[in-house]
Amino acid sequence: MRTVGVVGAGAFGTALAISIANQNNGVILWGRSQAQMKEIKHLNENSRFLPNIKFPNKLIPTSDFEPLLSCEIVLLAIPTQSLRQFLGVYKTKLENLPLVACCKGAELETGDLPTEIIQRYLPRNNIMVLTGPGFAQELAQGKPTAMTLGSTVPTADFQKILSSKTLRLYQSTDLIGLQIGGALKNVIAIACGIAMGAGLGESARAALMTRGFAEMIRFAKVRGGNQNTLMGLSGLGDLSLTCSSKKSRNFSFGYALSQGDLNKNFDTVEGSETSHIIAKFGDDFDIEMPITQMVSKVIKQEISSVQAMEHLLARPLREDES
């Protein structure tokens, strides 16, 4: 039996822990809050994020960091904007452990992607990324899910450890491309939510997804990613899922934004902060990113959602190419 550590007891971290433990691996699920982890252990479920889904016997929830140090691999399922603070506290404990970034987006202050943030603090570690289309609820319920494990070194052993009967992992060496897809699809999902909330219809959503995908490709080329990577699970696959369902936090956030209804509790909307840093990067490097720019401006309340859509529709006619 292998032991896997999962840092972050939110919806996705918990779902990953359940999926991996169902494959007969021992899993340590760590959360910072003692009260939260005590409740999870008592109930044998994460009632806040994944209610009514009981934990496998080999899944151990804890707020004690020490058990993670004996794990063969540790997954970091915490928000991208929290990575720097977390690593500043725990970097010495994590030295030499294989780490997997399971978050999406770009750091607001630097524009760094998750693996780049980890690299700053732990340059000698084997750093990977797990990304692709997968809703936490479905993953935890054992519904078929396919994702990509990215690494610059061979990861066949880790691929086998983290895969299960219902979670199929593919491999890639393009860390940048994988993470660009994971970051920007959230921004486009917010745009689609805005459009649907404004009652613009399915055709408008399809147009935003398609032109948004073109933005992803343009940005990835400049950032050093491989265009072909975006044709796979972490790009087109994740984009299709996130833009098409109210289960997506980013889509739901955009929908609420358009409706002027942000009283709901949105725990983690990675696309919000990501839109600002990607928009700035696009300006600095003269990359055409109209959808990302509009999303950023709407979130900053510089323009209304109606004005954003009017601006996109008023753009000059051009050939349909990326």
Question: Could you list the active site residues?
Answer: 185
Q: State the Cα–Cα distance between residues 33 and 121, nearest whole angstrom.
A: 23
| Phi-psi domain of 260 (left: phi exceeds 0; alpha: psi -120 through 50; beta: other) | left
21-59 as b/e: b if 16+ CB within 10 A: bbbebbbbbbbeeeebbeebeeeebbeebbeebebbebb
How many angstroms from the chain centroid is the CA of residue 155?
20
Nearest to 104 by CA among 269, 262, 292: 269
Nearest to 105 by CA among 249, 221, 222, 208: 249
Nearest to 100 by CA among 183, 37, 205, 175: 175
Query: Tokens 């691929």 label which residue?
Result: 159
Tokens of 54: 């009981």
127-131 and 145-150 beta bridge pairing: antiparallel
Determine whether 274 is exposed, middle or buried from the number of CB atoms within 10 Å of its CB (0-12, 13-18, 19+): buried
CB 320 within 8 A of CB 310: no
Residue by residue, DSSP assigns 118-174 as: HHHH-TTS-EEEEESS--HHHHHTT--EEEEEE-SS--HHHHHHH--SSEEEEEES-
3-state SS class at 12? helix
